[in-house]
A and B are shown apart, each in its own frame.
Chain A
Amino acid sequence: MKQGLLRWGDVLIGAAATTVVVAAFTLTYSPSGDARLLVISQAGAATQHEPLDRTRVLEIQGPAGITRVEIEPGRARCADSPGRQNICESSGWLQAHGDVAVSLPNRLTLQVLGAEPGFDSMHY
């Protein structure tokens, strides 16, 4: 080791490896691959598809009243629904692929879909 510990090639490989690690983290965990589409299914009505691109509020008329759906880029939620137990509202923000909110009184389901399915279970 006449020239010290590191050569220029070491620095280059170290930098390249760091870039690979950072790129792997960004590509794998970037949130942009998450929810992109809200699917609204209501009994007796045609399935409705809403892209999660801009902020807006939808009001859906059902047998029990109006379900208010808030849409934001990458997520959506059931903001207000006629159900007395607030089951639809308590689902919170739907932002991962496959997240669902249900309003039984209004016979309505809300589901967001993304590009990649998220974790369902993990086991070795």
Chain B
Amino acid sequence: MNTPAMSADPHTGITRHDRAIAALAAIAIGIQILEAAIPSPVPGLKPGLANIITLIALLTLGWRAAVAVTLIRVVGSSLLLGTLLSPTFWLSIAGAVATLAILALLRPLAPRHVGPVGLAIAAAMAHITGQFLLAWMVIIPHPNLPFVLPPLLLAALITGSLTGILTAHVLADPRIQRHVRH
């Protein structure tokens, strides 16, 4: 699939859809930068609040928009933080790709059977799993690295639930509710 960020038809020009993607991506970049400034007791442990925006993009604009918003967020925030093409960036991409893959799987169930909380938990677990696999296979191929996975998965379960609940609250806002696909 080509990246939807670039799929805007040149004949129709910029659509409302494109503006919505740009706005969501800008909010996501802002959240990601703010989150990078929060001190964390454990390296790599973050609440993942920017994932709220991915879920909102998915539930209001669709999966392609979610892909666009997420990839713009990863590249844009890494440009601002100076981590472009560094291991941090690749870990971020790996997490984003894993997240988008699981969201693609769950998408057919999305509005009716699975709400934002389930999506967020699955996304958070996929995110840390994707990052872990890249770290284990490429960046730190150490046989004892699996020992850090269970606490990270537990953290993902907790942060995923929290971001899911926050997403549900954002989606319940009447100004967003107009755009939600039922």
Q: Please report A residues at the B interface, Cβ cutoff 8 Å.
A: 1, 5-14, 17-18, 20-21, 24-25, 28-29, 116-119, 124
Contacts and interface: CB of A to CB of B under 8 A. Distances in A.
Dominant secondary structure at the A interface: helix
Given A7-B112, A14-B161, A29 B118 contact: no
Interface stretch (B2-10, B49-57, B67-75, B149-157): B149-157
Interface string B148-182: 01100110110011001100100110000000000
A21 B160 CA distance: 13
Contacts of B160: 17
Given A1-B171, A28-B149, A119-B144, A7 B43 contact: no
B122 interface: yes
Given A1-B168, A5-B115, A9-B109, A14 B121 contact: yes
B125 to A, nearest CB: 5
A6 B118 CA distance: 8
Given A7-B112, A9-B113, A14-B161, A20 B118 contact: no
